[in-house]
Chain A
């Protein structure tokens, strides 16, 4: 488990992280979303001991990460801006990681390279941006680290490769019980792979929750009655959003679906449709609940 408490970091006079608190459970895929400059990359760099924190604590399984070589054997970080050593092949890069990580699996590199059709002995300089990213991802996965951090990893990949990489990632996680933390400024990138999401805004975590709970407990209803009606008739069910176009109202509830369904049916509606919300819609409404505009945060 990663437990971050009151984490602060400033760059010059600019506060990048301010009293950040966050808990990431072991064995999950945690998505960290936020606009550019929200502090996502800085947070990952501090967790991985790339940057020094100003104050606060970052504990991984109860241990402080700073200068902790033993703990860092269990962490692997893939930053947004890749560093590939000039003139190196995938095999050379893998050997670098192999020299540094005790549990590095060279066979796994060969296996994944085969799946992704990457030549181990071709110089990385001649690879496309997407291929380079795949190579870096392979090396990170082969470290067999318990915690893996991916910063904007899927950015710039074509949909086919993105899906393939997500599959590899999910499989790896399932097989090895790895905890994966990934960042993106794009909600759609993460919604189909993450278990938990945290929203970073102005250096702090605005809120965090697991996606299943979010999706299950928040839903959209399209409803209509014979007689005229307004928002008042739903007030006992605490809707978080209400819109009416013509005689059909679209209402969003955050509650147990069965309970809401039963209550609505008792009102004898002529139309009653339950619709799923996209993650983006969920966030828009969640932001509104806590007093933020979605566009302001992203």
Chain B
């Protein structure tokens, strides 16, 4: 389709002139606010590029609102009879009208992003922020242009079938979110982008791994998801999907616009059935939530919600068609309620069946293994094949060995115990396994220090890889070797040291800051530089992260160092102290005299009751809280030594971690855990443990 042929310059110019006021405001507001936020943000610390949008908020907020406004500025004439008469009687046919406005809209979006980019570039040139490179801002402009343009096309598509702006917004939301919402709520979660698989080793022991799962959504959604936790500015697959959908929606929009009944102004849709259908769809999320929580609601609460939904049926009509048909609305309420309930139940069932299908992979079916080298060293993110069969076996044996032991309450997540060999963290690696059926599965796991050193030596002998790093980092080969083999004690000084300190401070839990900073000061003043830090999830890690932006994402390079035991002791003591404080608060209301009853719910959860009244629902209430309380009472005054073997007890229900050197007291107090712990594994046969067989 030749867009230039359909582009009517005269009409485009007049249409732009007609709307110049609002368009000018749009072109000024976003760049100015974004630039203001860039200047206002703390450039001495690392900022996720998505925070630039949110930091500022203008571009991010604009991504939602501006395309909607733009479609209304350029196409909004269809909502008023006199403007319809004026525009549609002009000597321009609907095809040219539609494509001219589409091009003008996209042109405005591009101008907006170019201005924002130029403003941001001035900031970068004037301030010289190391992370916010021109390239990053360019990529953001590219990503935002695509997201804006896609939303503009979706808004226009919604407009072509809508009789007023409210309905346009409703249709837009339906177009954008219906399929992802169904996938998210009924068929699994897309936020985490991972799924669980089991890797079974030669001894029949299965370890659970979470592998990346492809959930490709169009741009606005991926932008939200990326904001939640990822560092990617532009996901190529998402960008392609967005582009594809944009073309598809443009064509559909054109077809609908060409056939649009212009007399339908002010109402929702020309067809009453379509009106009722769309109204019903708007209630789908309500039904999904209701279906999830109905068993926790009292009958009056349920009736109240249904009444609110019933009233909504009338309010919706008042807003959209400005009249009420009592009988039709009542019938529609009943019919759509039944249909939506059945739909929700059906989709949820499909989701449950899908999620219940456990996927098993067998180690003896692995053809070859590749290690993600960036997990070990700076730079190169690619995978490299390890051709040493013994090393492969060693790595495989470690990633299929599960140190985590779960007690027998049906896949509990309330209490976990894991054995920690040393305060020095195991090394995380990603392994891409190629199976006999040619399927590639990327598995993350940990290896111990000995295996790490073996792997390191193997890689260090790989001339090609080392030369690649030298080229990438523009440093001498010797220096690179010193860095990557971890034998060099590097001293960071000046701005670089300040930046590292900032990174650490940013990630420290508030109450640890003071103690750690004392340690940091001593480190900074010493000639040998050794460093560790905490992240805010309490997990001790032994590296420093350096961020660099390239290829549409912020790459995170780990610099590993040995942890000094003095620092580690302070950290772990503080963690234990915090855990005891948290658990004390959590457990203070637990009355040891209460008798509890447990009931297995059909939705897979366990409810806990006492004889008098309802006490507590929990997602999986698998350990008697009284036992945990008893255990904590016993161990709270026992000193912890980080240099010895120790155990990590995850008290998930209290959201804290306790570290102890001995597990005997735990085994005595909460015996259910020790059964599996003795095997030191999470057995294949235990995966399907039936909750009904549990022995409370």
Contacts and interface: CB of A to CB of B under 8 A. Distances in A.
B82 A72 contact: no
A67 B91 contact: no
B262 A51 contact: yes
B interface, over-half SS:
helix
Contacts of A119: none
Contact of B92 (A45, A51, A69): A69
Contacts of B90: 72, 100
Contact of A75 (B89, B92, B93, B95): B89
Contact of B82 (A48, A52, A81, A101): A81
Q: Max chain A CB contacts within 10 Å: which of B21, B84, B96?
A: B84
B10 interface: yes
Contacts of B263: 11, 42, 51
Interface in A84-103: 85, 87-88, 95-96, 99-101
Interface in B1-50: 10-11, 13-14, 18, 21
Contacts of A85: 18
Contacts of B18: 85, 88, 96
| Cβ-closest 9 pairs across A and B | A83-B86, A79-B85, A72-B91, A77-B89, A83-B82, A67-B93, A99-B10, A81-B82, A50-B88
B262 A50 contact: yes
Interface string A37-55: 0000010010011111000
B85 A96 contact: no
B294 to A, nearest CB: 39
Contacts of A45: 85, 89, 262
A52 B261 CA distance: 7
Given A67-B93, A69-B91, A77 B85 contact: yes
Interface residues of B, number: 28
Given A68-B93, A87-B21, 18 more contacts: A12-B270, A42-B263, A45-B89, A49-B88, A50-B88, A52-B262, A67-B94, A72-B89, A79-B85, A79-B89, A81-B81, A82-B82, A83-B80, A88-B18, A96-B18, A99-B10, A99-B11, A100-B10
A96 B93 CA distance: 16
Contacts of B13: 99
Interface string B90-120: 1111111000000000000000000000000
A73 B10 contact: no
Contact of B91 (A73, A81, A87, A88): A73
A69 B96 contact: yes
Q: Max chain B CB contacts within 10 Å: which of A72, A83, A85?
A: A83
A290 to B, nearest CB: 30
B397 interface: no
B85 to A, nearest CB: 4
A13 to B, nearest CB: 10
Contact of B14 (A49, A87, A100): A100
B83 interface: yes
Interface of A: 11-12, 42, 45, 48-52, 67-70, 72-73, 75-77, 79, 81-83, 85, 87-88, 95-96, 99-101
A75 B85 CA distance: 13
A50 B89 CA distance: 6
22 contacts: A45-B262, A48-B88, A48-B89, A49-B88, A50-B84, A50-B85, A52-B262, A67-B95, A67-B258, A69-B93, A73-B91, A77-B89, A79-B82, A79-B85, A79-B89, A82-B82, A83-B80, A83-B83, A83-B86, A95-B14, A100-B14, A100-B92
B259 interface: yes
Contacts of B258: 67
Interface of B: 10-11, 13-14, 18, 21, 80-86, 88-96, 258-259, 261-263, 270
Contacts of A11: 263
Q: Max chain A CB contacts within 10 Å: which of B86, B89, B261?
A: B89
B14 A99 contact: yes
Contacts of B270: 12
Contacts of A101: 91
A88 B514 CA distance: 66
B83 to A, nearest CB: 5
Nearest to B9: A99
A9 B262 CA distance: 12
A58 B434 CA distance: 68
Contacts of A83: 80, 82-83, 85-86
A82 B84 CA distance: 11
Contacts of A96: 14, 18
Contacts of B82: 79, 81-83
Contacts of B80: 83
Contacts of A73: 91
Nearest to A9: B263
Contacts of B262: 45, 50-52
B321 to A, nearest CB: 12
Given A52-B261, A79-B86, A81-B82, A100 B93 contact: no
Nearest to B83: A83
Contacts of A72: 89-93
B22 to A, nearest CB: 11
A87 B94 CA distance: 26
Contacts of A82: 82
Nearest to A71: B91
A181 to B, nearest CB: 13
Contacts of A48: 88-89
Contacts of A52: 259, 261-262
Contacts of A75: 89, 91
A139 to B, nearest CB: 10
A137 to B, nearest CB: 14
Contacts of B88: 48-50
B320 to A, nearest CB: 15
A101 B92 CA distance: 10
Nearest to A145: B91
